[in-house]
Amino acid sequence: AGVLAAVPAGLLGARPGRAAAAAAARAPFAVPLRIPRPQRALRMGGYDVYRLTTRESDVSIVPGATSRVRTFNGQLSPLIRAQRGRPVLIEQVNELPEPFSMHLHGGHVPHHSDGHPNNEVEPGGRRLFHYPNTQAGSTMWVHDHSHDTHAENIYMGTAATYLLTDPEEDELPLPKGQYDVVLQMRDAKVEDDGTFVWDPNGFNDRPVFLVNGVPTPYFEVAARKYRLRLVNTSNERAFVLRLGEGDEFTHIATDGGLLPAPVPSRVLQLWPAERQEIVVDFSRYPVGSKVELQTMVTYPGETPEVMRFDVVREAEDPSSVPEVLRPVEDLGTPTVERMFEMSFSPETGQHLINGKPFDVNRVDFRSRLGDVELWTIRNKDAEFGIPHSLHPHLAHFQVVDRNGQPPGPSEAGWKDTVTVRAGEEARIKIQFTDYTGLFMFHCHLMGHLTMGMMGQMEMVR
């Protein structure tokens, strides 16, 4: 009960439909986790060059059936590994029947490569994206930002993990190599015959959990420490994760990379588009143990499984979690204040920021590079119980407080998406330093974004 009390009210995607749940639950842990191999880069004059082709693909999700989904290079959850200081060029080739606008979520990238909806790649088209990789190491992801089809394109499978390493981080004794694992997780509705069902309003009926594209997989691990990079690519589903019987793990990183210090945790919230990284020490379990990762929902009694770790062998473990990970320097005193009121309009069905739906012809505000800004994000939907998040492009921010209370140590790092529950508010400090031009800010619950919950900000000198 103590742990369940930590589950937020108004959590979305709560109740798995019973009949549909049967499909995945019939045999959870029947399929091994897929570990994506990094995409191959062409090395050209200091750049790592990739081609990502977006297309419809038939993949196997439900054993014995195929599912028509949308992918990058034919894969669900592909992985790109980048290094700080080594820029990446990606040529996106769009073979989908819909426009696509590729966005690196968490990336500090120039406007022309940011996937602004004005820069959509039409079906049959292609476009070059430049990711400078001058920022600190972190786990990011790549997804569509087109005007009308982002929600469908993301839901149907186009989500790549973009793992940026950096030399300072590499020197830390954290688990590496095969013990450093990306777990891209999301919900979906998949019929027994493999049909991958897209229903924009169906967020309460997506009972299948996919981890790296595999339904409720098992993962054979050694009895030692692993670094797990959790990425929530769901359109609307929040995960509130716990391990085993509420066992302890170590929270080490969030959206913008390493926390200042590790935080021992037993429950972890992962809202849409967020990343959380943990170190789990499987040496605490005897070989032969099976440890479930579950997500809690708002009502007691139901904790559906997301995946399972099967401890199958002993292994050496030279890794450790240092007491200091990466200091986070306070941004200092803000000189600009802004308010973001998030609300739902039952009359129009639109989701609004400061009373307005997105308008591509409107710039909502201008920010001067270098200014430290204090933003208040207020969720006005107490009566509807709808959570919202705010995700500004181009910079990471620091959470100052939530409802007047300082954030816990697990929010002490650099964030790029902050979720605010119904009726609550959060304040953040942000400073844009990199590029001028037009960028987006929006709620990352995809249905809300589709229904208008987005604005534009222009960076000026």
The residues binding Cu ion (CB under 5 A) are: 388, 443, 445, 448
Please identify which residue in 275, 326, 388, 393 interacts with ligand C2O, judged by CB under 6 A. 393
CB of 181 to Cu ion, least distance (A): 30
The option from ligand C2O, Cu ion, none interacting with 388 (CB < 5 to 8 A, set by class) reads Cu ion
Choose between 237 and 442: whose C-beta lies nearer to ligand C2O.
442
What does 211 bind: Cu ion, ligand C2O, none (CB cut-off 5 to 8 Å by kind)? none
Site for ligand C2O in 253-282 (CB under 6 A): 273
Instruction: Tell the smallest beta-carbon distance from residue 453 to Cu ion (Å).
Output: 5
Least distance from Cu ion to the Cβ atom of residue 255, Å: 17
Rule CB under 6 A: choose which of 70, 84, 103, 127 binds ligand C2O.
103
Q: Compute CA distances 178 → 36, 48, 136, 250, whole Å.
A: 11, 22, 22, 18
Q: Give the residue, chosen from 105, 225, 326, 402, that forms a contact with ligand C2O under the rule CB under 6 A.
A: 105
Q: Which one among 223, 440, 443, 453 touches ligand C2O, defined by CB under 6 A? A: 440
Q: Is 445 exposed, middle or buried (0-12, 13-18, 19+ CB in 10 A)?
A: buried
Contact status, residue 414 vs residue 328, Cβ threshold 8 Å: yes
* 143 near ligand C2O, judged by CB under 6 A: yes
Considering only the stretches 155-163, 248-256, 333-341, 437-445, report the one whose residues sit in contact with ligand C2O under the rule CB under 6 A. 437-445
Bridge partners of 305?
A: 294
Q: Count interface residues toward ligand C2O (CB under 6 A).
A: 10
Per CB under 6 A, 186 contacts ligand C2O: no
Should residue 251 be labelled a site residue for ligand C2O when binding is judged by CB under 6 A? Answer: no
Torsion angle of the four alpha carbons 220, 221, 227, 229, in this order, in degrees rounded to the nearest 10: 10
Residue nearest to ligand C2O (CB): 105
Would strands 47-59 and 88-94 be described as parallel, antiparallel, or unpaired?
parallel
φ and ψ of 19, to 5 deg: -60, -45
Q: Is residue 109 within the footprint of ligand C2O (CB under 6 A)? A: no
CA–CA separation, 262 and 246 (whole Å): 18
**Stretch in the footprint of ligand C2O (CB under 6 A) among 215-223, 228-236, 361-369, 440-448:** 440-448
Kindly state the smallest distance separating residue 14's Cβ from ligand C2O, in Å: 23
Long-range contacts of 405-412 (CB under 8 A, 24+ apart): 408/263, 409/259, 409/261, 409/263, 410/251, 410/254, 410/259, 410/263, 410/265, 410/268, 411/254, 412/259, 412/260, 412/261, 412/328
Local structure of 283: helix, strand or coil: helix
- Two structure tokens written together for 207: 């009972």
Q: What residue 445 binds from ligand C2O, Cu ion, none (CB within 5 to 8 A, per partner kind)?
A: Cu ion
Q: Which does 291 bind (CB under 5 to 8 A by kind): ligand C2O, Cu ion, none?
A: none
Q: What is the DSSP string of 332-401?
A: ---SEEEEEEEEEETTTTEEEETTB---TT---EEEETT-EEEEEEEE--TTTT--EEEEESS--EEEEE
Residue 273 binds which of ligand C2O, Cu ion, none (CB < 5-8 A, kind-dependent): ligand C2O
In this complex, which beta carbon is closest to Cu ion, that of residue 203 or of residue 397? 203
**H or E segment at 268?**
strand 268-270
In contact, 133 and 167? CB cutoff 8 Å: no
Which residue, 219 or 441, is less far from ligand C2O as judged by CB? 441
Neighbours of 32 (CB within 10 A): 12
From 442, 445, 448, 450, residue interacting with ligand C2O (rule: CB under 6 A): 442
Nearest-approach distance from CB 381 to Cu ion, in angstroms: 8
The tokens for 269 are 């919230």
By CB under 6 A, residue 391 contacts ligand C2O: yes
Q: Which of 456, 295, 281, 446 is nearest to 367 (CA)?
A: 456
- For residues 194 and 210, the answer to whether their CB atoms sit within 8 Å is no
Q: Which is nearer to ligand C2O, 227 or 391 (CB)?
A: 391
Nearest distance, CB of residue 298 and ligand C2O, angstroms: 25
- The residues binding ligand C2O (CB under 6 A) are 103, 105, 143, 145, 273, 391, 393, 440, 442, 444
